A and B are shown apart, each in its own frame.
Chain A
Amino acid sequence: MKLDPKTYSKMVRRAVPHSPVLKDCLWAFFVGGSICLAGEILRQTYLTWYDGEMAGTLTSISLIFASAVATLFGWYQKLATHAGAGTLVPITGFANSVVSPAIEFKTEGWVSGVGAHIFGIAGPVLAYGTLAGWVWGVIYWAMSKGG
């Protein structure tokens, strides 16, 4: 065959259709922005009854709950096919990444299914988030010693 991997790699790059970048960015911006706007409206509402810290916590809880419900009914996935990073980046995306495997692996049982897979997607975020927190803690400690 008149083909080698290097030539083929170039051929493939040429044949791959480009993503509609502008459209994707607009979707991500408006959907992601709308989720954040909803969060801010919730926070302002909670501020009428609670202090700033509590209002922030309640906002996160509300968004996570809403995302879990939307995931359960399959709405979050439908929105995400258009919104991309707009639904992935906010806290609702993290909630979706935990709830979706929990739903999916229920057929394998509560322990070996839901329990074992629930952090299948979010696990790396938790692992490296914890590591980053530890590294920052060491730096913070060293800085406070030095300062």
Chain B
Amino acid sequence: MSVRRKDTIVFEHPPVISAWAAVGGKREGEGPLASGFDLLVEDAAFGPEGCSGWESAETMLQSKCARICLRKAGISAREVNLAFAGDMQAQCTASAYAMRALGVPFAGLYGACSTMTESLCLGAAFAGAGYSERTLVMTSSHFCAAERQFRTPLTYGGKRTTTAQWTATAAGACLLRPAGTAGIPVLSVTFGRVQDYGVHDINNMGAAMMPAAASTLLAYFHAFDASPQDFDAILTGDLGEVGSELLCTQMRREGYDLSNHWDCGCLLYDTSRQNVQAGGSGPGCSAAVLCARVLPRLQRGEWKRVLFLSTGALMSQTTFLQGESIPGIAHAVELGAPKEAATV
């Protein structure tokens, strides 16, 4: 029986992430995590493969990621019982079109950049409850598709602010299985609450999402009387440099030392060398870092217990133009070391 403690579901028999895959583009391949990716593509337009636009290119990114993940798991798409997937395109089309080709039962999700942990939370709950034997969770983002939808055309000559973040061209996929299978256990999942502290600056998403990350962390720490030091690492999705600094300041104010905190947006790129301003963002950012860095480290036993949050900004172009502030959300998954590694 799983236990519910405030906003967190703790699994008595933790489901596991039995296989995973990360796919990235050129800039991601020039970043510090390049070696962790399963596939890095030089040209993420996928023109030779028949993609006519950036939207279909993102679909291709997801399709490749899903197929690599299933190949690593040693199963075919037919054996997948359920897929939770999402992306940032309007109406989640990157995922829907990827699933059109994959042909598995599919529930599309939108949590902006928090979609990876949102899917993981739901996937783990389904796996933990025995509703699904093999659950695929996946998210992606594509810099070019996001730019044209949320900002300006790619060839438009604009200057970015110092707080702006770079949407990752990346996808990450995980296959969840019930307890008893080899893999990285998902010990608990925490669904976040929407937080809005009045940030209106669309070029400062890190600041808009920080209160959501802090709120979810505090909800977890209070529920379990835990502290950051109980974990080898606390990772946030895409707060970037500005949001990360704000998070550490806020958590200090709450009485918690976040010295073991890393942000996926700052891990995916070398912010001092690559021109990404405050760091990476997008649903694909935390998904790729999870699959290229976090899960391999847990697998190797270098980390034993990790709290992984993805953070999402839940505004739209319309609400932004109508003067609404930007609400944020953060969901968390608690990951452990695989059984054999945990005993080392």
A52: min CB distance to chain B, Å: 30
Q: Which residues of A sit under 8 angstroms from B154, Cβ to Cβ?
A: 74, 77, 100, 103-104
Binds B, one of A3-11, A40-48, A53-61: A3-11
Closest to A97 in B: B156
Work out how many contacts link A and B, with CB atoms closer than 8 A.
Answer: 107
Contact residue among A3, A18, A79, A96 (Cβ-Cβ distance under 8 Å from B211): A3
**Contact size range, B:** 35 or more
Closest to B55 in A: A107
Given contacts A15-B246, A101-B153, A103-B153, contact A1 B275 (CB under 8 A): no
Q: Which of B122-163 contact A (CB under 8 A)?
A: 148, 152-163
Closest to A2 in B: B253
Q: Which residues of B sit under 8 angstroms from A104, Cβ to Cβ?
A: 148, 153-156
Q: Which residues of A sit under 8 angstroms from B204, Cβ to Cβ?
A: 12, 16
Taking the complex as formed, is B105 at the interface, i.e. its CB lies under 8 A from any CB of chain A? Answer: no
Taking the complex as formed, is A93 at the interface, i.e. its CB lies under 8 A from any CB of chain B? Answer: yes
Q: Which residues of A sit under 8 angstroms from B158, Cβ to Cβ?
A: 77, 80-81, 88
Closest to A17 in B: B162
- Main SS of the interface on chain B? loop
Contact residue among B52, B156, B163, B218 (Cβ-Cβ distance under 8 Å from A16): B163
Q: Which residues of A sit under 8 angstroms from B163, Cβ to Cβ?
A: 16-17
Q: CB distance A101 to B156 under 8 Å?
A: yes
> How far apart sit A5 and B153, CA to CA, in the bound complex (Å)?
33
Which positions in A face B, CB cutoff 8 Å? 1-5, 8-9, 11-12, 15-19, 24, 71-72, 74, 76-77, 79-81, 83-84, 87-88, 93, 96-97, 99-101, 103-105, 107, 121
What are the 8 A-B residue pairs with the smallest beta carbon separation, nearest first?
A80-B157, A104-B153, A5-B198, A100-B156, A107-B53, A100-B153, A84-B159, A100-B155
Identify 6 new A-B residue pairs, CB closer than 8 A, beyond the known A1-B218, A93-B157: A1-B214, A2-B250, A8-B198, A16-B163, A81-B159, A103-B153
